[in-house]
Amino acid sequence: MDSLPNGDSAAAAAATAASITPQSRLTHLADSLKLENQFLRVPFEHFKKSLRTNHRIAEKEIYAVIGNVIDATNSEDMSRKDADDRLNSLVSKLQGLKRKLEEGSRTENLQLQRCRARLNHLEAAQTENVYEWNNTREKRFLVDYMLRMSYYDTAAMLAESSHLQDLVDIDVFQEAKKVIDALQNKEVAPALAWCAENKSKLKKSKSKFEFQLRLQEFIELVRSDNNLQAITYAQKYLAPWGATHMKELQRVMATLAFKSNTECAAYKVLFEPKQWDDIVEQFKQEFCRLYGMTVEPLLNIYLQAGLSALKTPFCYEEDCTKEDPLSQESFQKLAKPLPFSKQHHSKLVCYITKELMDTENPPLVLPNGYVYSTKALEEMARKNKGKVTCPRTGLICNYSELVKAFIS
């Protein structure tokens, strides 16, 4: 085949590079977005929830109206005034149903708008403004972190100033905030209402959250010495859980005898304030699971992944190069509980010359185990009559004692 002229070759090479680079970028973005399943799933789950709620409301109201119409039709001795009253009542109910359906429709359209906005955001990754796209993504992580840490006002301000309202889940977390605030005030009613609203999904995931709420409510009755009321409550709300949670039930029922001032550790712990904190944490986990969110904030996940990739034993040595981010104390503290990175392909840089060690400048191992480049050690041996000195430990040895290391 005849070769292309030089100009055509350059153009072809440029076209090939242009076609490969965006594709590799998209592959990288696709890999990183696997951690962001919640980005699309949260508004979709919220949309499905709105559909179910609106369907239940419409079904209930329509059946009520049909029932009233049937009753009116079967009534033979109804006066004109009663008929007018019934018709006015039906009209009022239908108008109320219309308002509820319109409100539900607005909620559904809002969720659809958010799904569309997030799809458009993902498609924007194919364009050239990758810096701007990543900047938006970082702000999303910050808003997500603030919402999980209960900084709702700050999160809302950042989302508004950055025009990210459709790309973050402030309204979803506001829904959770109502339950969390109530639990922190030792009120279980909003949490139980949330359980009833999401009963089918919680049952499918075999959640114990509602059971824990019922146990805590029983404990509070025992704490206030309402034993008879506690027994009635247990018969109504705890007995149905007996088939699957008998041990927990037996333990909590024993508090009727031990009382709230017991010194028995097994039962004293049930009356401690931290039980409410545990319930709050359990709710947060159930809430995240329901919407397909990660339990850990995305900011934490990415930060831990980055620190773990950089972390090596050398980072904690005194002579660690300042170019290493983990040479800073603040980063070292964050990375302390994380595992060291597993480097399959590493680059070795000479401690003395700061040059790359490769096949042209292979590493040499001193008897003390430290490694330096051939170029640096040859220069040192030439100046010191065949002797080399380890700059870290001060060990002096002959150049002939060095062992060549091979990079795999």
196's tokens: 């009833």
**Whole-angstrom distance, CA of residue 322 vs CA of residue 313:** 15
- If asked whether residues 266 and 310 sit together in one domain, one would say no
124 and 46, same domain (yes or no): yes
218 and 117 in one domain? no
For 280-312, how does the pLDDT look when each residue is reduced to its tens digit (9 = 90+)? 999 999 999 988 888 889 898 888 888 888 888
Domain boundary residue among 98, 128, 158?
A: 128
pLDDT at 9 over 50: no
**Contact (Cβ atoms closer than 8 angstroms) between residue 299 and residue 142:** yes
355 with 283, same domain: the answer is no
Residue at 158 is within a domain: no
Could you report the per-residue pLDDT of 87-122, keeping only the tens digit for each? 888 888 888 888 888 888 888 888 889 889 988 888
Cα dihedral across residues 323, 326, 330, 331: positive or negative: positive
Are 279 and 305 members of one domain?
no
Q: Which of 214-223, 240-249, 320-329 has the lowest mean pLDDT?
A: 320-329
Mean pLDDT score, 8-13: 36
Instruction: Evaluate if residue 26 carries a pLDDT over 80.
Output: no
- Let me know whether 179 and 280 are in one domain: yes
Pair 247, 327 in one domain: no
The CATH number given to whatever domain includes residue 370 is 3.30.40
User: Are residues 316 and 370 located together in one domain of the fold?
Assistant: no
Looking at the predicted structure, is the pLDDT value of residue 177 above 60? yes
Would residue 374 count as lying in a domain?
Answer: yes
Is residue 289 domain-resident? Answer: yes
**Number of domains forming the structure of the chain:** 4
- Same domain, yes or no: 93 and 117: yes
- Do residue 113 and residue 85 come from a single domain? yes
Report the pLDDT averaged over residues 388-405.
90
Q: Within this chain, do residues 180 and 291 fall inside the same structural domain, yes or no?
A: yes
Instruction: Find the mean pLDDT for residues 28-52.
Output: 76
Cβ pair 120, 55 in contact under 8 A? no
User: In terms of domains, do 265 and 227 share one?
Assistant: yes
19 is a domain residue = no
Whether residue 144 lies inside any domain: the answer is no
CB 191, CB 198: distance < 8 Å: no
- Most distant CA atoms of the chain, gap in Å: 125
Domain that holds residue 226: 173-295
Q: Is residue 2 part of a domain?
A: no
Residue 386 lies in a domain: yes
Percent of residues, the chain, with pLDDT higher than 70: 89
Region 200-219: mean pLDDT is 93
Model confidence band, residue 41 (pLDDT cutoffs 50, 70, 90): confident
166: left (phi over 0), alpha (psi -120 to 50) or beta: alpha
Could you tell me if residue 156 is inside a domain?
Answer: no
DSSP 64-103: HHHHHHHHHHH-SS--HHHHHHHHHHHHHHHHHHHHHHHH
Three state DSSP letters for 174-217: HHHHHHHHHHHCCCCHHHHHHHHHCHHHHHHCCCCHHHHHHHHH
Burial class of 203 by CB neighbour count within 10 A (0 to 12, 13 to 18, 19+): exposed
Using pLDDT thresholds of 50, 70 and 90, give the confidence band for residue 8: very low
